[in-house]
Structure 1
Amino acid sequence: MKHCKKLTLLLIAALLLAAALMTGCTGLTPAQDAPADTKKEGIYVRLERDDAYAVYLNSDSFTKVCENADGTPLKSGEWIFAGEDVAKLSQEENRSVLFTVGASGSDDTLLEEASFFYDIAKGTLYVTVGAEGVTCSTSGEPDAMADVPPVLKLAILDEIDETVTVGVSGSSLRAVQAAVQLIDWGMNTGLGADEIGEAASTWLAAKNDGLTEYLQKLEMVDDAYQKLLTDEARDMLDSAGCAGVEITWGSQPIEPIEAIMQAAGLR
């Protein structure tokens, strides 16, 4: 009898696991058009395109991904609840939390991505990922107005954070390599100095406890960047493993980079 009960429990567990896999979601919970009185504080995400194989939500402290276990495209038109993590963080730290929602295709190519601020006072936000972009609203009603503005994110700041280290062997070489990437970005971005400065300030404010370390990284990159504008550039590049990098910049400060450094208090 005990053996039968054990088998029954195992069978139930297997069925529950199969049901969970059928939803295709890791960390995100399907929540099809829940009645208003049962909707939770947090973020709902809905796909309005048929070529997305994964949808994700991330902030500076967590990432959640939803994808089908069998590798098929996600179903569009249904709300997915992104959980209470963002709401909980906003409530506990009494601040707005920057989060990013995006979708990727079959080969992990980025389809759409946008960032927004969540504040616990807003209660619930509804993010729609469509063929023409990502929008965010305080209402989940059909054709609701996108009344939550997107936040410009500077991917170059994330790259610096990921590649540059402080106080370890080779950190100065990595700072030079990051400075080369920063210069390339600064010379080719179409963004204006004002919007770059605002976006950088927003990004830095969202770092919270990690801000001090990041400013140390940015200061190292800034030092390398300024030296790359001088006659030292060729020797620095060769020493940092960037011998193949052609010096296409001059000696004048690059305005988009200066906007970042000013936002960081380094100017």
Structure 2
Amino acid sequence: MMKILVTGASGNVGHFVIEELLNMGEHVVAAGTNVNKLKGRFKGKVDTVYFDITNQSTYDVALKDVDRVFLMRPPHLGKPEDLYPFIDAMKVRDIKLVSFLSLMGVENNPIPPHHKIEKYIEASGLPYAHIRPGFFMQNLSGIHSAEIREKNQVFVPAGKSKTSFIDAADIGLATAILLHHPDQYRNTSHTITGFEALDYNQIAAILSKVTGRQITYAKPGYWKYRKYYIKKRGLEKGYVNVTVALYFMTRMGTAKKVTEDFLKLSGRNPRTFEEFARENIRCFLNKETI
């Protein structure tokens, strides 16, 4: 029985891809640089393998008996060329489908590295199914949850723009469906969004409703946001700069598109932000309300 390799297996999307593939009866290989973490998370339900996309000596073991691959760009690798050797390694094997986690709108935007990676996969002749999600709801329950908990503020420099947020769990399901049916979805692209576009005042109103606290949208400018996240939050400058660039693009209207791709793939509607906030309410509660 051939296997599906899932890179970035401990990431926001990767572990959801794995859970859904297991539900479909697939044999999965979870790949990453921390094998003990993967073993602890999946508890013997998957094979685990040490894999470092920048180390070509790890490719052969990772691709053994594999005929489909979920490919994720490690966030710390900014250059598309970092992924090319692994794509070349897949090319000489009998791979039925590569599903690459890309970005919404990247087909018309050559700036993010995902654009060149998509093009390289296509040019290689590998059968592909690109997944192009909108902004993750997990951005709010993760990186941006600190200000929601501590200051009752949504603190992102997105201006008045709208975003069609999608739950990473829904991205995982959509990806698993593509990998489970490689012939059906060969050489396709799928833009996965929520069913509505919300501005951040609406996000704050939903969080207020769910938590019972008055949460507001702070609407900081780029410099205020950047300074706060680097100086006060202590986050890496490079990472913060990438988020600033993404919010700049969001203000240009790149994040508001709503598609039915998830419904077409899965037969159901994507999770709403209110449903997500209720399910993940602990991420948004402050010390007084826990």
Q: When the two structures are superposed, what TM-score results if normalisation uses the length of structure 1?
A: 0.31
- Higher CA-based Rg: 1
More strand by percentage: 1
The structure with higher relative contact order (CA 8 Å, sep 6+) is 2
Q: When the two structures are superposed, what TM-score results if normalisation uses the length of structure 2?
A: 0.30
